[in-house]
Amino acid sequence: MKIKQLLLFVFVAFGYLFHASCEDDMANIVTDEPVKDITGSWKVIQLTRNGEDLSQRLNLTDFRIDFKEDGSYTLANGLPFVLVGSGTYTLNDPQYPFSVLMTADGGPEQTAVKLQYPVVRGKRQLSLSFSLGCTGNTYQYNFEREN
């Protein structure tokens, strides 16, 4: 009976030491998330409304959004978008952004646009989603950065 108790004690002690050693290794792992960089010129590759692809119905070739390093943006060639012209922008959180906060030049109100920043087929994309007044209609613009 004492051998079984001794073996149980050794097994529990070994398990504790093994678990404790794993925790120390995990404490040394750096998990800093880099700041997201959306600067550059982005071209539309897909436009959807309520999940329906509108890309074949509209000419998307000239629509661009340029996010500049100084925190300003410009829109080229009007398509239905939440803002027009140019203005300023910031990300709601530089490391884990869920929206880009945009203010049109001369406009007092800041507009929050939902943001996703996925990598698709090896290329970084930018997806912006919003409603244009009617909450039943949601537009999603999928962009690729121009070289």
Tens of pLDDT, residue by residue over 69-80, are 999 999 987 777
Question: Could you tell me which residue, 121 or 8, shows the higher pLDDT?
Answer: 121
> Residue 130 forms beta bridges with which residues?
139
User: Which helix or strand (DSSP H or E) is residue 10 part of?
Assistant: helix 2-27
Whole-angstrom CA distances from 98 to 87, 93, 129, 140 are 20, 7, 11, 14
Long-range own/partner contacts, residues 29-33 (CB < 8 A, 24 or more apart): 33/95, 33/96
Tens digit of pLDDT for each residue in 92-135? 999 999 999 999 998 888 999 999 999 998 889 999 999 988 77
Tens digit of pLDDT for each residue in 28-48? 676 678 889 999 999 999 999
pLDDT band at 15 (very low <50, low <70, confident <90, very high): low
> Residue 115 forms beta bridges with which residues?
128
Phi and psi at 58, nearest 5°, equal: -120, 150
Q: Is the pLDDT of residue 13 over 90?
A: no
DSSP state at residue 107 = -
Residue % of the chain over a pLDDT of 90: 52
pLDDT at res. 110: 92
pLDDT at res. 7: 63
**139: Cβ–Cβ under 8 A, 6 or more apart, which residues?**
47, 48, 49, 80, 129, 130, 131, 132
User: How is the chain split among helix, strand and coil, in percent rounded to 5?
Assistant: 20, 40, 45
Q: Is the pLDDT of residue 10 over 90?
A: no
pLDDT at res. 34: 86
pLDDT at res. 41: 96
